[in-house]
Chains A and B, each alone.
Chain A
């Protein structure tokens, strides 16, 4: 039996990789992938807790997250495509319209 701490540790590591990836990488595609990574890290911990607490609601939550992640990826990529069409860039350095 793998103890709960290991799952949480794995989840935390993957989450931190995701956060770091989001912060460090400038390519929007990779940033989107990092977001997926973070979501999946959360999924792991949810499933782990669900099993540990013997409560199915955690796993239900995971399905929601998977759905949202799918939708997010779809929309995010669509935005990315139109952004690329307009700006010919996928680097965040080149997309600083919000600069004050």
Chain B
């Protein structure tokens, strides 16, 4: 056994130990095992990263997983540049979230269970990113979904939490349905599910079409779109985004780890991993780019009016994930992954900051009831501010570099690129606006909650503020590996990714790049400025606007009624069919009608027949006599002939 196997295996071991012995033996010490395991994984991941940095690519099989006829899949690991960066993101954020949870989950009845699930999640996510074949990716894919289900529904006594977990799982299954079919198509067309073989052979499919219900569909486009279905589900893109905001029912560290930094980015990772397939289909690429851009804009507009601090951040996540798909769709996979990487830090920081606020506010989530928290919890405030500046795209911070890279590459990608660039820039402004809306409403001004809450306000314990500070460093510095040439940097990360993800060659002049940069900086600062006017200077403006544009406001407030729409066109009809058609009519009346009808008919016939049995002796005698008479007559007639 070599060390790479240990990367996922350590958290798995921690999970097994905690889930079996946690309740009775380990109890309040559950975090030690979990943290040590993920620390070990992190250390090995760093060493693997360094190996990859020196130019080595690790790819080997551990054992044969499923072998059936010509179908063969192994469990194996591929650590290349893409995986290496994901390993760092997953293990480092996971480690910080583990530490943060020690403080956050202190005293919870399911303490051991929480850490067990976190370990299981870390294991699954690592299996997902480390797999060297599609089926193992699928394994991790479903397993992280399962952990998400467990953790969203962690406080399962609450109906809303249980509902949200179930919703997340089932909505994801819709995406996985397409993904699974994509996997099967790849196998049937190419005869293998291993990355190297898929990418080696995919070119042979070029130009082939498949007939679906009379339409000829380009095979590669179809495969790419089916795979993208899975990504849409997992990364909460339109139309399967509905589960992510509800997922905020889970404990906040979970939102930070799973629903911001790692799991939801699996879709982006997958699209980037399959860039050789996507690159061969113009249509698929445009679908990816437009889905990303539309989702990004859509989620950002919803985030404008929400009051629940975690939901705002959740919509912000959906929006940023859209950004990453936008990048992938214009061929800027490296930029997308770069954004994934910086986003992991500042978004985890936002969530953990929100958690810290909740901790102080005793679970209160409504930013309208906060205010002035700055003076009670300075560490939380400053780290939250850094994260907000970073996500808004203020120059020098992590978010700026990755966002700028995406916008610049989109700008240079033809017509579709220009469209998504325009949308992306608008999103940048909106992002700055709603991020600072939180800052102004929650941390500035005066406290608007109850007296009791005010009395209770305090800075969070060390275990929680430490990770905040570390993440804040990430939110500032993570982007420095990708400083573009136009600003005198070397854009190291783009070159790092180039062997796996390629890098679109842009020939435009630096001046043009400065212009694009300038526009996005202006958008960000404009957003912050408007936010300051709205929520700090003249708080009556947003109220007036809400009244004036009531229909728009309520549409946004109700998230464009997508949940209601799904309920109306999918959930209700299916349930109605189940109870009123299948149970009541087809099974109840038709099939059971036949099954019980045949015996009933026989019984009915018998009922009639038994009327003959009168019980009167004379009747029997008469029938006997008649019988003898008839038989004798027949015999005599026969004799007579």
A and B touch in the complex (CB under 8 A): yes
| A1 at the B interface (CB under 8 A) | no
| B618 at the A interface (CB under 8 A) | yes
Query: Is A99 a contact partner of B617 (Cβ separation < 8 A)?
Result: no
Would you give the shortest CB distance from A35 to chain B, in whole angstroms?
10
- Proximity string of chain B (598-641) to chain A, C-beta cutoff 8 Å, 1 when within and 0 when not: 00000000000011111111100110010000000000000000
Query: Is A100 a contact partner of B613 (Cβ separation < 8 A)?
Result: yes
Query: Is A23 a contact partner of B625 (Cβ separation < 8 A)?
Result: yes
Please name the residue on chain A nearest to B606 by beta carbon: A100
Query: Is A26 a contact partner of B610 (Cβ separation < 8 A)?
Result: no
Contacts of A23 in B (CB 8 A): 618, 621-622, 625
Contacts of B615 in A (CB 8 A): 95-100
Contacts of B616 in A (CB 8 A): 92-93, 96
Please name the residue on chain A nearest to B617 by beta carbon: A92
Would you give the shortest CB distance from B624 to chain A, in whole angstroms?
10
CA distance A44 to B615 in the complex (A): 33
The contact of A100 among B610, B618, B621, B622, by CB within 8 Å, is B610
Query: Is B611 a contact partner of A31 (Cβ separation < 8 A)?
Result: no
Query: Do A96 and B618 contact each other (CB < 8 Å), given the known contacts A19-B625, A23-B625?
Result: no
CA distance A100 to B615 in the complex (A): 7
Contacts of B612 in A (CB 8 A): 100
- Proximity string of chain A (76-94) to chain B, C-beta cutoff 8 Å, 1 when within and 0 when not: 0000000000000000110
Query: Is A99 a contact partner of B614 (Cβ separation < 8 A)?
Result: yes
CA distance A78 to B9 in the complex (A): 93
Please name the residue on chain B nearest to A98 by beta carbon: B615
CA distance A23 to B626 in the complex (A): 12
CA distance A19 to B612 in the complex (A): 21
CA distance A97 to B610 in the complex (A): 13
- Proximity string of chain A (60-89) to chain B, C-beta cutoff 8 Å, 1 when within and 0 when not: 000000000000000000000000000000
Query: Is A98 a contact partner of B621 (Cβ separation < 8 A)?
Result: no
- Proximity string of chain A (14-44) to chain B, C-beta cutoff 8 Å, 1 when within and 0 when not: 0000010011101000010000000000000
Contacts of B618 in A (CB 8 A): 22-24, 26, 92
The contact of A31 among B613, B614, B617, B625, by CB within 8 Å, is B617
Query: Is A96 a contact partner of B621 (Cβ separation < 8 A)?
Result: no
Contacts of A95 in B (CB 8 A): 615, 617
Contacts of B610 in A (CB 8 A): 100
Would you give the shortest CB distance from B615 to chain A, in whole angstroms?
3
Query: Is B613 a contact partner of A98 (Cβ separation < 8 A)?
Result: yes
Would you give the shortest CB distance from A24 to chain B, in whole angstroms?
8
Please name the residue on chain B nearest to A22 by beta carbon: B621
Query: Is A99 a contact partner of B613 (Cβ separation < 8 A)?
Result: yes
CA distance A22 to B616 in the complex (A): 12
Query: Do A100 and B611 contact each other (CB < 8 Å), given the known contacts A19-B625, A23-B622, A23-B625?
Result: yes
Contacts of A31 in B (CB 8 A): 617
Please name the residue on chain B nearest to A26 by beta carbon: B618
B611, B614, B616: most-surrounded residue (chain A CB, <10 A): B616
CA distance A28 to B300 in the complex (A): 102
Q: What are 20 inter-chain pairs, A to B, with CB distance below 8 A?
A: A19-B625, A22-B618, A22-B621, A23-B621, A23-B622, A23-B625, A24-B618, A26-B618, A92-B617, A92-B618, A93-B616, A95-B615, A95-B617, A96-B614, A97-B615, A98-B615, A99-B613, A99-B614, A99-B615, A100-B610
Chain A residues within CB distance 8 Å of chain B? 19, 22-24, 26, 31, 92-93, 95-100
The 7 closest A-B pairs by CB, nearest first: A96-B615, A99-B615, A100-B613, A100-B610, A92-B617, A98-B615, A23-B618
Q: A96-B615, A96-B616, A98-B613 are in contact. List 9 more A-B contacts (CB 8 A).
A: A22-B618, A23-B625, A26-B618, A31-B617, A92-B616, A92-B617, A95-B617, A99-B613, A100-B615
